[in-house]
């Protein structure tokens, strides 16, 4: 996996301006790579449950979100932040903090979207894109890096 991520870093360095290349490191690129795969897990599992199995939209959405969060936890733990311990003293706090941080960003996202779209009347898709990048991508990365998968726990 490291070889693939390092290859992506080399390729991206041709397209990213020099002043932003400091962000092209294993941790950030692997986070974005696995975030893309997590999105794929969400979409494929939603389609499977909704179209193939025939569950309702809410159930398909809930199941796909749970599967995506489990996938994100495992890939963030093992590949992004390299927290290799499966001892309960490390695993349980990571699971609890990961779940709490995802719940926090979900609630924050919901409130911010309500304010920006329903209260202030901004463009819905543009605000969805903004909150996805700022709250979910950047916010979840920061929470995972500094709260969930801390060096102390490894």
The answer on 33 and 74 residing in a single domain is: yes
The answer on 126 and 76 residing in a single domain is: no
Distance CA 82, CA 154 (A): 8
- Tally of domains in the chain: 2
Distance CA 26, CA 46 (A): 30
pLDDT for res 122: 94
The answer on 90 and 61 residing in a single domain is: no
The answer on 93 and 66 residing in a single domain is: no
Task: Give the range of the structural domain holding residue 92, as residue numbers without chain letter.
Answer: 86-154
Q: What is the mean pLDDT of residues 140-146?
A: 95
CB 101 within 8 A of CB 144: yes
The answer on 112 and 47 residing in a single domain is: no
CB 147 within 8 A of CB 95: no
pLDDT for res 87: 95
pLDDT for res 153: 46
| Domain endpoint, select from 54, 80, 106 | 80
Instruction: Give tens-digit pLDDT for 109-122.
Output: 999 999 999 999 99
The answer on 147 and 90 residing in a single domain is: yes
pLDDT for res 152: 62
The answer on 90 and 141 residing in a single domain is: yes
- Contacts (Cβ under 8 Å, ≥6 apart) of 13: 21, 24
The answer on 116 and 54 residing in a single domain is: no
């Amino acid at each position: 996996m490291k070889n693939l991520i390092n290859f992506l870093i080399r390729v991206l360095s041709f397209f990213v301006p020099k002043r932003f290349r400091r962000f092209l490191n294993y941790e950030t690129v692997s986070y974005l790579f696995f975030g893309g795969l997590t999105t794929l897990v969400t979409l494929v599992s939603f389609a499977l449950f909704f179209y193939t199995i025939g569950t309702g939209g809410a159930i398909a959405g809930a199941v796909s979100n749970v599967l995506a969060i489990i996938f994100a936890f495992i890939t963030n733990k093992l590949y992004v932040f390299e927290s290799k311990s499966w001892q309960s003293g490390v695993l349980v706090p990571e699971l609890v903090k990961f779940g709490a941080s995802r719940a926090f960003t979900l609630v924050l996202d919901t409130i911010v979207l309500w304010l920006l779209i329903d209260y202030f009347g901004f463009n819905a898709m543009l605000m969805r894109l903004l909150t996805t990048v700022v709250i979910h991508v950047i916010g979840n990365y920061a929470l995972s890096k500094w709260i969930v998968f801390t060096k102390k726990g490894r």
